[in-house]
């Protein structure tokens, strides 16, 4: 632990805690209300008491002036009645992963071969910014030929929010887009000085839906799921969304879309040809 000014992650954590404190009413945590209360939400001192820490320490935490332990952050998360995904977001500030030593855009031959071998099942390799580094014929057939996009547009967030067909291709576009943005919001919070994150965020905020949800500081975590696509050629597709970390390539992830039923399996085979 140490006092004094902190870098961006400390400020971002503090802003997140403050936003969650302000959305709670005293009755939500078993405290009596007061007609003299002029500001929304709980007071800092009330959160500190619920978390079992000093008022000054909690104030410093919201101001981004201190680093603190996992135990304290868990206590604060419980006091603020955070959802599991929100708690995971808060706990992610305890430790930061070391950045990859590989040059930007680099993908190993082994990972490239794996992506190609998964066809006709769509698969792609993402870097820490969710830029698309490699993809197979199944991914191209499901979405679009990424090689035709500008390099800065080869990004999962860009495809979901700025590529118009996504809103009809994804049967449940809004909840899935909102969840994806929440996952991205959590990543950006831990790397506020990263220029590529800032660039992607600036582009995203030109979309009214993304701007509204982003402004609420909504965060979420990845969960395996089945996604329903309405493809203009292949029809209805049900695909299991699988995400795997590349242990020997820090920061790289493999995303694969696996058929959840026989009709989808057959449709992918025909679609890729």
Summarised one tens digit per residue, pLDDT across range 21-52 is 999 888 888 887 666 666 678 989 999 999 98
Residue with tokens 């020997």: 248
Q: How far is 236 from 171, CA to CA, in rounded Å? A: 9
3-class secondary structure, 188: helix
**Alpha-helical runs (H) found in 23-155:** 44-51, 55-62, 70-79, 84-91, 109-117, 137-142
CA angle 191, 90, 104 (to 5 degrees): 25
According to DSSP, residue 125 is labeled: E
Tokens in use for 210?
Answer: 């993304």
Summarised one tens digit per residue, pLDDT across range 219-260 is 888 888 899 999 999 999 999 999 998 877 778 899 999 999
Going by C-alpha positions, the residue among 231, 122, 227 that lies closest to residue 169 is 231
* Per-residue pLDDT at 233: 94
3-class secondary structure, 59: helix
Q: How many helices (H) and strands (E) does the chain have?
A: 13, 5
CB 203 within 8 A of CB 158: yes
Strand order in the sheet with 235-245: 132-135, 123-126, 253-259, 235-245, 225-231
Going by C-alpha positions, the residue among 126, 213, 155, 222 that lies closest to residue 183 is 222
Return all residues near 167 (Cβ < 8 A) that are at least 6 apart.
173
Around 191, how many Cα atoms within 13 Å sit in the side-chain half-sphere? 19
Mean pLDDT, range 3-20, rounded to an integer: 75
Summarised one tens digit per residue, pLDDT across range 113-125 is 899 999 999 999 9
* Per-residue pLDDT at 161: 97
CB 134 within 8 A of CB 107: yes
Q: pTM (2 decimals)?
A: 0.67
């Amino acid at each position: 632990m140490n006092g004094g000014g902190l870098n961006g992650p400390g400020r971002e954590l503090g802003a997140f805690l403050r936003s969650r404190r302000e959305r709670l009413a005293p009755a939500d945590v078993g405290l009596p209300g007061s007609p003299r209360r002029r500001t929304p939400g709980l007071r800092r001192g009330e959160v500190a008491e619920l978390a079992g820490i000093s008022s000054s320490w909690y104030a410093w935490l919201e101001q981004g002036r201190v680093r603190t332990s996992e135990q304290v952050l868990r206590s604060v998360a419980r006091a603020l009645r955070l959802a599991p995904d929100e708690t995971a977001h808060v706990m992610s500030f305890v430790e930061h992963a070391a950045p990859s030593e590989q040059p930007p855009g680099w993908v190993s031959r082994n990972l490239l071969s794996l992506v190609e071998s998964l066809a006709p099942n769509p698969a792609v390799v993402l870097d820490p910014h969710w830029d698309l580094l490699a993809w197979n014929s199944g991914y191209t057939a499901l979405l679009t030929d990424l090689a035709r996009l500008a390099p800065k547009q080869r990004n999962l967030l860009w495809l979901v929010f700025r590529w118009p067909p996504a809103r009809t291709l994804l049967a449940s576009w809004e909840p899935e887009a909102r969840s994806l943005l929440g996952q991205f919001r959590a990543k950006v919070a831990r790397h506020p000085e990263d220029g590529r994150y800032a660039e992607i965020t600036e582009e995203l905020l030109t979309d009214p839906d993304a701007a509204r949800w982003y402004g609420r500081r909504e965060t979420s975590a990845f969960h395996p799921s089945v996604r329903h696509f309405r493809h203009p050629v292949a029809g209805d597709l049900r695909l299991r969304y699988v995400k795997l970390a590349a242990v020997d390539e820090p920061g790289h992830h493999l995303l694969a879309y696996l058929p959840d039923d026989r009709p989808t399996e057959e449709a992918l085979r025909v679609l890729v040809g």
